[in-house]
Amino acid sequence: MDGSVFQDGDDIHEYLAKHERKDMLRFLTCGSVDDGKSTLIGRLLYDAKMVFDDQLETLGSDSKKFGTQGGEIDFALLVDGLAAEREQGITIDVAYRFFSTEKRKFIVADTPGHEQYTRNMATGASTADVAIILIDARQGMLPQTRRHSFICSLLGIRHVVVAVNKMDLKDYREDVFRGIEDEYREFAKPLGFESITCIPLSALKGDNMLTQSPSTPWYDGSALLPYLETIDVSRKDDQPFRMPVQWVNRPNLDFRGFAGTVVSGEVRPGDEIVVLPSGKRTKVERIVTRDGDLDMADKNRAVTLTLADEVDASRGDIIAAAQQPPEQSAQFQAKILWMDDEEMLPGRQYILKSSNRMIPAQITDLKHRIDVNTLKELSGKTLKLNEIGECNLSLTQRLVFDPYKDNRQMGSFILIDRMTNHTVGVGMIDYALRRSKNVHWQALEVNKESRQTMLGQKSAMLWFTGLSGSGKSTVANLVEKRLHDLGRLTYVLDGDNVRHGLNRDLGFTDADRVENIRRVGEAGKMMVDAGIITLVSFISPFETERQAVRERMDENEFIEVYISTPLEVAEQRDVKGLYAKARKGEIKNFTGIDSPYEAPSNPEITVDTSEVAAEKAAELIVEYLDSKGYLGN
Amino acid sequence: MLTTETLLRRAERLSDVSGLSLTTISRKLLNDGKGLARIKNGGRMTAKTLEAAAEKLDALEIAETPRADELLSPEAMTHLDRLEAESIHIMREVVAEVENPVMLYSIGKDSAVMLHLALKAFYPSKPPFPLLHVDTTWKFREMIKFRDNLAEKLGLELRVWTNQDGIEQGVGPFTHGSAVHTDIMKTQALKQALNHYKFDAAFGGARRDEEKSRAKERIFSFRTADHRWDPKSQRPELWNVYNTRTAVGESTRVFPLSNWTELDIWQYIARENIDIVPLYLADKRPVVERDGTLIMVDDDRMPIHPGEKVEEKMVRFRTLGCYPLTGAVESNANTLPQIIEEMLLSRSSERQGRVIDHDQSASMEKKKQEGYF
């Protein structure tokens, strides 16, 4: 230990030279609440002499104020940095700590144990090489022990330490330790860890932390710190060269460089590479850095490449070894860990962000959820916060990737909600779905433009949205009549002709409403492709879904008509008697009563039928279409 | 206390993994090549011998256990190389995805490193964003001189922002105290500048090892339209896939140096020959001792109280900020290796020199929630 601490009289140059060539290990601590994670890290920092005098002073006063150790020094307070954490004595978010010993530098992620903060635990696990999973010797394995072990395995951590903590409170009994060890090893068999090391500990008392403890004479393994200093986490890494293009560097017309970080393999000037998805091949010309060109760039190096030929590449592309290119697909299977309070809805559009690009994506199918306690597969339609599932995804463009098990950077992605911009889920790609390799878009000679020309109109989708009874269908029908009179080809999609046929299998849960709108959107898009002016009349309460349909259409093909008639008026009309039933509780999930309606933020047209007569509204809409050139000459 | 059986079992295991024969191990532990064999056959030893043998075994195990290479091969990336690459990756990601980024430049050593990394990240282009300095008008004069020289030398766009309302009200640390001064001249000024220029991402040089609430913060740290940080619902941040999306008016603070430690910063400055403000190096400077802190008399706005006297002392600064709020340390260290040596030997953390952090342990978190960097 002492070699890590610089002492008076040591040679500073020698110390720094050695320090600079140290290896770095990233690990995390996880496990259930109160298993002693923060105490363990606090203890490591304290024993590694990484706690400064002024911090120690604050720690002393904080221990008296918030400590859970009866006024004794509470090491957990060294790491629990947020006010709410100190007050409640729990860890809410992951904290990163840094320390070094004679042999290694360490970055520790101290992660929260409460189930509701699992996403913060996953944040810490995604960059770790080793996981320390704490178990309270008095409690044994808890659901969180299993959940965290599973997430560690899911995120590709290959070495775990099972730290059976608080052994002092169990009189350092070997049978207690062995019982927990056996149970854990049995549970962890399917998780595929490369090594599992079990250590009996007392983080508070310091047993088996730095050296083997005399209190556990029956334990013949390594103490924790020597283990961390010596564990070999290097991978037999023979993954081929990959570099996602982050940014195109173009200071002048004579220089065009592709900036990015090498995520696997290595690259040299003269190497044959391929730019994906375009598939253009060329050679690497130079590896440019501000400190001069490099002969070779290996994994984790941030560089700028110039290429021998003028090939077109931009942000989002992947530069890869020409002989071993990655796969590309718009459809694949992935494991998803859901991280948002709002549940995952199959069919809803999210933004998928991979290492260097964003692509609209939807989860087409939740194949099954995974029970983190038993690792059994469960059926389900949605994923709630902290749930894990195997899903099929469909993207609007093809993604270049490698499976996550082969390449962490090339196989990982996050999902972002398009409205809130929250990171709602994270995913690890398993494999491409076969069908996407076989389905190609046929470029037909007869196309939308030729059909529109034939019909003498520009096709578009008029999307009528509003509360039940607001007058959507009334106005839509009047518009259609008027257009028909003018000799235009039209069609109306509404609840009456869709709910009874195409969408007969759907109910009124949020998930079904999303799917309902998705199908209507797709059907409408085909009609627009056929050249028809299509009028869609649906309550369609969610902005996200309407937005998703809009984005599937070409520019100026989606015209949102918001029938803004207020709820009181619609309820008073109650043409079909539905509001009365909903108020009595006979209909569940009724929009405006016990299910929300999200008004459009930027509709092309807004009509309030309590102020404007339906005929007048229809006239205004037709005028709008005429003025924008949809009705031809 | 270790039992004889455990000693034997550990010795045998050590023999397996290290290739040392049991006889050799026996000689090292007991000064007797056949000692272990005798014990195996039922021989006994005194508690004292056992204790001595156990101690030697501990040392032998550490020395003989095969392990990852202790020091890296010369061509492998060092941890400084890795930190550098990570920071560059973060900066490029911001420039590629955000419309109007800015780099907060505070003239200190961390800013110096951050700017140096930006020069590397976009080479041969210049960093495609301006630098912003929030000037409280109370910075050390040497800092301002250094700032202007550097911007000119590098040909970078430097924007300086001062809270004019604060100036009109005559806000300063001597008259209003550190809390009010910091809030109005730093926090409010920063918000004004970000709003004025409509920056949607701002690089800052904060590190996680500085302070406990920093240790909890994401690299891409989301701010609401009124610049608030909500520590309890931060976006998950996995791998190096960063969510840069914000709605109009919202913004992101980005910390490319999150994973650097104070030692890393100094080592990197030494390795890369980065220019730093001379105030970091010891020199004779006029100081006054006030409430146990040495304050440098940088200009005549500093009132000298009765009983105080201005002394010329060899001092330097571990952090730089507003001169009335930055404590000097007595030191003779005037080279980088000496500074590093002094830092390694000192037993107090670098923020101690800052008057503003002292009040309460959660003060940084509170200030950050209100929009402080």
Residue A77 has pLDDT above 90, yes or no: no
Res A444: pLDDT: 43
Q: A-contacting residues of B 263-292, CB under 8 Å?
A: 263, 267, 270-271
Read off the pLDDT of each residue in A355-373 and give the average, rounded to a whole number: 91
Q: Which residues of A touch B209 (CB under 8 A)?
A: 97-98
pLDDT at A72: 61
Contacts of B67 in chain A (CB under 8 A): 103, 229-232
Nearest to B285 by CA among B261, B240, B317, B263: B317
DSSP string, A368-381: EEE-TTT--EE--S
Q: Are the beta carbons of A369 and A388 closer than 8 angstroms?
A: yes
Distance CA B13, CA B77 (A): 34
Nearest Cβ partner for A122 among B77, B236, B247: B236
Structure tokens at A391: 């899903």
A446–chain B Cβ distance below 8 A for any pair: no
What confidence tens digit (pLDDT) does each residue in A511-528 have?
A: 888 899 999 999 999 999
Q: In whole angstroms, give the CA distance from residue A321 to residue B48.
A: 64
Query: Is a pLDDT exceeding 50 seen at residue A588?
Result: yes
Q: Give A162-220 pLDDT, tens digit per residue.
A: 999 999 999 999 999 999 999 999 999 999 999 999 999 999 888 999 888 999 999 98
Q: Cβ contact (<8 Å) for B239 and A127? A: yes
Residues A534-548 pLDDT 10s: 999 999 999 999 999
Q: What is the pLDDT of residues B1-53, one digit of tens each?
A: 678 888 888 888 788 777 788 888 898 888 888 888 888 888 888 888 888 88
Sign of CA dihedral A535, A537, A542, A545: negative
For position A67, what pLDDT does the model report?
A: 64
**Residues of B (338-367) whose Cβ lies below 8 Å from A:** 338, 340-341, 344-349, 352, 361-362, 365-366
Residue (of A160, A161, A180, A162) closest to A170 by Cα position: A180
Question: Which position among A4, A355, A540, A564 bears the catalytic label?
Answer: A540
Residue A426, C-beta contacts closer than 8 angstroms, at least 6 positions apart: A122, A126, A336, A337, A339, A412, A413, A414, A415, B236, B238
Percent of chain B scoring above 90 in pLDDT: 61
Encode B135-166: b = buried (16+ Cβ within 10 Å), e = exposed: bbebbbebbbebbeebbeeeebebbebbbeeb
Instruction: Compute the average pLDDT of residues B186-212.
Output: 93
Chain A residues inside the 8 Å CB shell of B1:
214, 217
CATH class assigned to A242-321: mainly beta
Cβ distance A98 to B77 less than 8 Å, yes or no, reads: no
Residues 352-411 of A with CB under 8 A from B: 353-356, 408-409
**Band of the pLDDT at A103, cuts 50, 70, 90?**
confident
What integer pLDDT is reported at residue A633 of this predicted model? 62
Looking at the partner chain, which of B79, B236, B241 has a beta carbon nearest the beta carbon of A105?
B79
Rounded Cα–Cα distance for residues B292 and A548 (Å): 63
How much is the average pLDDT of B294-311? 93
How do residues B49-72 score in pLDDT, each as one tens digit? Answer: 888 888 888 888 777 655 444 445
Enumerate the residues of chain B whose CB falls inside 8 A of the CB of residue A353: 241, 243
Q: Which residues contact A423 (CB under 8 A, 6 or more apart)?
A: A339, A340, A414, A415, A416, B235, B236, B237, B243
The shortest CB-CB distance from B2 to any of A155, A214, A261 is to A214
Determine which helix (DSSP H) or strand (DSSP E) holds B120, and give its type and residue range: helix B109-122
Across residues A400-414, what is the average pLDDT?
Answer: 94
pLDDT value of position A441: 41
pLDDT classification of A31: cutoffs 50, 70, 90 = confident
Q: How far is it, in rounded angstroms, from Cα A617 to Cα B159?
A: 53
Q: Is the pLDDT of residue A404 over 80?
A: yes
Number of A–B residue contacts, CB under 8 Å: 234
CB of B64 within 8 Å of a chain A CB? The answer is no
Both tokens of residue A429? 């790609």
Q: What is the pLDDT of residue B303?
A: 92
Q: Does domain A12-230 have CATH number 3.40.50.300?
A: yes
Q: How far is A485 from chain B (nearest CA, A)?
A: 44
**pLDDT at res. A69:** 64
Terminus-to-terminus CA distance in chain A, angstroms? Answer: 87
* pLDDT tens sequence across B242-274: 999 998 889 999 999 999 999 899 999 999 999
CB contact B241 to A (< 8 Å): yes
A 518-547 near B (Cβ less than 8 A): none
Model pLDDT, residue A70: 60
Instruction: Kindly indicate the confidence band of residue A437, based on its pLDDT and cuts at 50, 70 and 90.
Output: very low
Average pLDDT score, chain B: 88
Per-residue burial over A320-344, b = 16 or more CB atoms within 10 Å of its CB, e = otherwise? bbbeebbbbbbbbbbbbbbbbebeb
Q: Residue A50's pLDDT is what?
A: 66
Q: Is residue A443 very low, low, confident or very high in pLDDT (cuts 50, 70, 90)?
A: very low
The partner residue sitting opposite A220, judged by closest CB among B9, B85, B89, is B9
pLDDT of residue A534: 96
With beta carbons under 8 A apart, name residues in chain B contacting A301: 77, 81, 85
| Per-residue confidence band for B359, with pLDDT thresholds at 50, 70 and 90 | very low
Burial of A374: CB neighbours in 10 Å, binned 0-12, 13-18, 19+: exposed
Mean residue pLDDT of chain A comes to 88
Superfamily of domain A448-627: P-loop containing nucleotide triphosphate hydrolases (3.40.50.300)
Top residue of B94, B208, B361 to mutate, by most chain A CBs within 10 Å, is B361
A487-508 pLDDT per residue, tens = 889 999 987 788 888 998 888 8
C-beta of residue A333 within 8 angstroms of C-beta of residue A403: no
pLDDT band at B116; cut points 50, 70, 90: very high
The pLDDT assigned to A56 comes to 66
A580 at interface of B, judged by CB pairs closer than 8 A: no
Q: What is the pLDDT of residue A220?
A: 87
Is the Cβ of B95 closer than 8 Å to some Cβ of chain A?
A: yes
Of A20, A107, A220, the CB nearest to B80: A20
Split at pLDDT 50, 70, 90, the class of A47 is confident
Q: A82–B231: do the CB atoms touch at under 8 Å?
A: yes
Whether A12-230 and A448-627 share one fold: the answer is yes
Buried b (16+ CB within 10 A) or exposed e, A406-440: ebbbbbbbbbbbbeebbbbbbbbbbebbeebeeee
Q: Is there a catalytic annotation at residue A601?
A: no
CA distance to partner chain B, nearest, from residue A482 (Å):
40
The predicted model gives A449-458 an average pLDDT of 83
pLDDT band at A2 (very low <50, low <70, confident <90, very high): very low
Question: What per-residue confidence (pLDDT) applies to A227?
Answer: 94
Task: With CB atoms and an 8 Å threshold, state whether B72 touches A105.
Answer: no
Predicted local confidence at residue A79, as pLDDT = 65
pTM of the model: 0.75
Q: How close A496 comes to chain B (CA, Å)?
A: 38
Nearest to A84 among B215, B232, B234 (CB): B232
pLDDT of residue A168: 95
Instruction: Note whether A465 and A540 are within 8 A (CB).
Output: yes
Q: Please judge whether A23 and B72 are an interchain contact, meaning their C-beta atoms are less than 8 angstroms apart.
A: yes
> Min CA distance, A609 vs chain B (Å)?
32
Could you tell me the two tokens for B354? Answer: 């800052």
Listed range (A305-309, A313-317, B368-372) with the worst mean pLDDT: B368-372
Task: State the alpha helices, DSSP H only, in A425-559.
Answer: 434-438, 448-455, 472-485, 495-498, 510-529, 543-552
Based on its alpha-carbon atoms, the radius of gyration of chain B, rounded to whole angstroms, reads: 28
For chain B positions 118-137, those within 8 Å of chain A (CB to CB) are 119-126
Comparing CB atoms, the residue among B82, B234, B238 nearest residue A122 is B238
Q: What gap in Å lies between CA A157 and CA A29, rounded to an integer?
A: 12
Measured between CB atoms, which of B65, B121, B362 is closest to A83?
Answer: B362
Asked if the C-beta of B154 comes within 8 angstroms of chain A's C-beta atoms, the answer is no
Of B309 and A396, more confident? B309
pLDDT for res A555 = 87
Q: Do the Cβ atoms of A289 and B120 come within 8 Å?
A: yes
C-alpha B44/C-alpha B52 separation (Å) is 14
Give pLDDT, residue B69: 46
- Residue with the two structure tokens 């309030």: A608
The pLDDT score that the predictor gives to residue A5 is: 66
Interface predicted TM-score (ipTM):
0.79
| Closest-approach residue (CA) in chain B for A98 | B209
pLDDT band, very low/low/confident/very high, at B73 (cuts 50, 70, 90): low
- Distance between CA A7 and CA B154 in Å, rounded? 39
Interface residue B228 vs chain A (CB under 8 A): no
Report domain extents, chain A.
12-230, 242-321, 329-435, 448-627
- Note whether A249 contacts B122, CB cutoff 8 Å: yes
**From A78, which residue of chain B is nearest by alpha-carbon distance?**
B212
Residue A54, pLDDT score: 64
Task: Say yes or no to pLDDT of B368 above 80.
Answer: no
B117 min Cα distance to partner chain A (Å): 10
CA distance A295 to chain B (A): 12
Option in B66, B234, B345 nearest A6 (CB): B345
Considering only A205-214, A314-323, A604-613, B15-24, which range has the smallest mean pLDDT? B15-24
Q: Which fold has domain A329-435?
A: Elongation Factor Tu (Ef-tu); domain 3 (2.40.30)
The reply to whether residue B67 touches residue A230, judged by beta carbons under 8 angstroms, is yes
What secondary structure, in 3-state letters, does A289-326 show? CCCCCCCCEECCCEEEEEECCCCCCCCCCEEEECCCCC
